[in-house]
Structure 1
Amino acid sequence: MLYYINIIQLFICFIHLVSGQSQWNTRDFMKREHSLIKPYYGSGIDIPFWHFTGTTIVTPNYIRLTDDSQSKRGTIWNTVPVTSRNWDVQVHFKVHGKGKDLFGDGFAIWYAKDNLIDGPVFGSKDLFQGLAIILDTYSNHNGPHNHQHPYISAMVNNGSLSYDHDRDGTHTQLAGCEAKFRNFDHDTHISVKYERDVLTVSTDLENKAAWKECFQVKEVRLPTGYYIGVSATTGDLSDNHDVMSVRFFELDLDNDVDAAEDRSKIIPSASYFEAPREHVEDPKPGMSGIKIFFLMLLGSIAVVTFVVLGIMFYQKRQEKSRKRFY
């Protein structure tokens, strides 16, 4: 009797486990033409439905966009335009490197009109049209919009806005959250879900097979026909930026009243899309103690020299004055 009870308990645990996993990573509607999973290779070194540029290398276990060295830039882009209106892109990634306190720059997940174009925005094109989810590891901003890094943010662009690296994109972002995703030994995942014009970005950074919401933005309008991509870059600081998988899920929604709307020609926008703020330079940093010391030292030497020269000049005048009386 005890044996059968244990079997039943084991079966119940299995059901709970399966339901929990499905809640985290539903596979019912995964579209193979927009997904990137192992084994990566097709015929030769090509990956079906995907192209890569820059420093990207393909290995049996991961796709490395950049290695942990300076001034690298790599991208990988899906070559099939997305026709789904509602979707969820889940990326299994790993960012790691030897840097403990200084590292960079980061990577971005794209839903953009133009693909396979290298550029300065984490390895891809500036003035893009579409959506960028930016995972920024390097902070070079000390102004009033400061936040801790690594940091995840979203930017929707109609092609007219330039990403401001000096401000970490805070002047054009829709939303963001701090997320410590570097140098984990376990798997790290991010979900970018676009459902009924609501953008929700979630992460699984704790290896719990459960999504934790990072941020949500309503009334985001994105057209169909754009491309999925991932890009990364390094500068003076560096990291390994690896992609293990990209899974694209088409969301089949009940009672979607706008399902018949043609979304192929709309312009990317968001309800509270902020106008770009004026770029104001950070105040120049104050001088260090060593610089102040040397400046004071040079000033003191100049004063002493001036006093000595003054005394010498005065003495010579006194001598000339005495000679006139003899």
Structure 2
Amino acid sequence: MSFKGNVQRSKPLQSLLVLAGCVTIFICYYLNIFDFLYPSSSTYTPEEINTLLQNKESNIVALKKTELTAQGLAKPFLDDSHFHVRNWELNGNPLVENNEYIRLTSLVPHTASNMFSRMPIQAESFEMELTFHIHNSEVKHGLVGDGLAVWFLDKPSDIGDVFGVRNEFNGLGIMMDTYKNGKRGQFPYVNLMMGDGRTRYNKATDGYETRLAGCSAKGLLNPASKETKMRLVYIKNGYLSIDFNYNGKHEDWLNCVTLTDVQLPFIKFLGLSAETGQLFENVDILENKIYALYKPNGGFVESIDELNDLIKEQNEYEQETINLAGINDQVNQESKRKGGRNRAIKKKLSTERRKTLSRLRNAEKRIKERERKERLEKYGDPDATFIKRLVGKTLWLVKVFIYIIISVVLIWIVWIVIRVQRQKRRKKTAGLLD
């Protein structure tokens, strides 16, 4: 009797085959459930999103901005009465040239300086534009050290061994490293680390083990424009983006990192620091501007989605204005001509805002996808959280367990078939003897 006939007569075999088919379908579904395809379309780059948040395209969206002077720096730096840098506490060996720069390190080996704002940043969403100059005209073979760091810490720091700040810090460190200690990366390199107050920064590996994100930044050292600008945008829900302008051209930004889940300390002090080792360089701070980002009706901007909502609200407002202009046109002929022109302009702006909504949504998806890829390369896990990893391992174990069950079932089926065939042979042999 054929295998098909055995299956038709055996109900246990039929049940096992149905079970095996269901398990196979489940596995195929499981293996494909995490495959997402994002539609390709015209999107805003991180630099363009940051420009929007800096309120430099007011025809697209208008944000309320308030300058945070307690964390600002502008020439002349010194207070007229006390000859201190206004609103800042300086430590180490800085040099203040009142109308030129604050030099954190100079061409002297084994020195360190830092400066922290006396008041914490009074904003949950803000943008900052720092202007600085890292240079050494006597550089040989491209070797200088060690770099500049920007800090957002829960408290000011004394002089320490991490770019002039104490190790085991609590908060975000943005380290513009100009000397390569470890084996990885092209330098100068911008390295981000989120400290928890316990984890140490490893200088021997340039903080590779604790790196949150980073980028190469060759233009940091000895720029032709004699200055570098760093633009940082932070939004309450965790959006953090850093751009650099190396060549001095207006609004010529290059994105370094864009992350979507960075949580700065609730109380955060802004700090700047630098240090030298056996190699050295001049690190000059030229200016700093920082602004709180508010929605037009008050409250801090909380997400890129809120930016979408603001654009949408403005679009609706413009549409209402166009409708009112149309009514007025019917009353006055001259107003009609002027209003028609205004209506065309407003219609164009309205169209731009509608396009911007779509582009920003796609841009946020693209940023999150890029962040997932970076985590996948660094941690082997696109989500890089303990819970996600635990769930992933559990699902993997479940999948392995299912494979084992399927293998056992298949072996059992084969064993039953072989057993049935043996019984048939025995019956035939016994019949011949009789």
Higher strand share: 1
* Deviation of the 1:89 alpha carbon: 2.2
Segments of 5+ residues of structure 1 without an aligned counterpart are: 1-18, 260-269, 275-326
TM-aligned CA distance change 1:61 to 1:27, over 3 Å: farther
The answer for the alignment partner of 2:223 in structure 1 is 184
Residue aligned with 1:171, SS: helix
Partner of 1:267: none
**Correspondence 1:178-217 to 2 at 5 A:** 178-180=216-218, 181-186=220-225, 187-195=227-235, 196-210=237-251, 211-217=253-259
Aligned counterpart, 1:75: 114
1:257 and 1:61 map into 2 onto residues whose CA distance is 35
Shift of 1:208: 1.7
| Amino acid corresponding to residue 117 of structure 2 in structure 1 | N
Q: Which amino acid aligns with 1:99?
A: V
The CA deviation string for residues 234-256 of structure 1, in whole angstroms up to 9 with x for no partner, is 00110001100121111114686
The partner residue of 1:92 within 120, 131, 144 is 131
The equivalent residue for 2:414 is: none
Name the CA distance, whole Å, in 2 between partners of 1:134 and 1:149.
Answer: 12
2:407 is aligned to: none
- 3-state secondary structure, aligned to 2:70: helix
Q: TM-score, normalised to structure 1's length?
A: 0.69
Larger RCO, structure (CA 8 Å, separation 6 or more)? 1
| C-alpha RMSD of the superposition | 2.6
Query: Secondary structure of 2:208's partner?
Result: coil
Does the CA contact (< 8 Å) of 1:51 and 1:116 recur in 2? Answer: no
Larger C-alpha radius of gyration, 1 or 2?
2
Q: Which residue of 2 aligns with 1:235?
A: 277
Q: 1:69 to 1:160 in 2, by over 3 A?
A: same
State the match for 2:71 in structure 1. 34
Aligned CA distance change for structure 1 residues 113 and 217 (closer, same or farther; 3 Å) = same
Amino acid at match of 1:138: Y
Whole-angstrom CA distance in 2 between matches of 1:188 and 1:224:
29
Assess if the C-alpha contact under 8 Å between 2:64 and 2:295 holds in 1.
no
Contact 1:204 1:212 in 2 (8 A): yes
Whole-angstrom distance in 2 between the partners of 1:166 and 1:27: 44
Identity %: 29
Q: Which residue identity is paired with 2:76?
A: P
Structure 1 CA distance, aligned partners of 2:132 and 2:198? 30
Rounded to whole Å, the distance in 2 between the matches of 1:102 and 1:257 is: 42
* AA at the equivalent of 1:34: Q
Cα offset, 1:47, TM superposition: 1.7
With normalisation by structure 2, the TM-score equals 0.52
Amino acid at match of 1:61: E
Matched residue, 2:188: 150
Residues 55-106 of structure 1 deviation map (CA, whole Å, 9 limit, x = unaligned): 1111021000010120010111110011210112221000001213211111
Separation (CA, whole Å) in 1 of partners of 2:277 and 2:193: 22
Shift of 1:258: 6.2
Shift of 1:257: 8.4
Show the counterpart of 1:126. Answer: 167
Decide whether the 8 Å contact of 1:87 with 1:250 is kept in 2.
yes
- 1:203 CA drift (Å): 0.5
Structure 2: state its 5+ residue gaps: 1-51, 58-62, 304-374, 376-382, 387-434
Aligned equivalent of 1:111, options 149, 152, 159: 152
For the residue of structure 1 that corresponds to 2:76, the secondary structure is coil
Deviation at 1:192, TM superposition (A): 2.1
Q: Show the counterpart of 2:342.
A: none
Corresponding pairs, count: 241
Of the three residues 164, 167, 180, the one matched with 2:202 is 164
Higher helix share: 2
Change (3 A) 1:63 1:27: farther
CA shift at 1:170, angstroms? 1.3
Aligned match of 2:212: 174
CA distance in 1, matches of 2:75, 2:210: 35
Q: Provide closer, same or farther for how the CA distance between residues 102 and 79 of structure 1 changes in structure 2, counting only shifts above 3 A.
A: same
Structural mapping, 1:261-280, within 5 Å: 272=384
Indicate conservation of the 8 Å contact 2:125/2:302, yes or no: no
Q: Per-residue CA shift, 1:4-40, capped at 9, x if unaligned? A: xxxxxxxxxxxxxxx9x9739x994221111111111
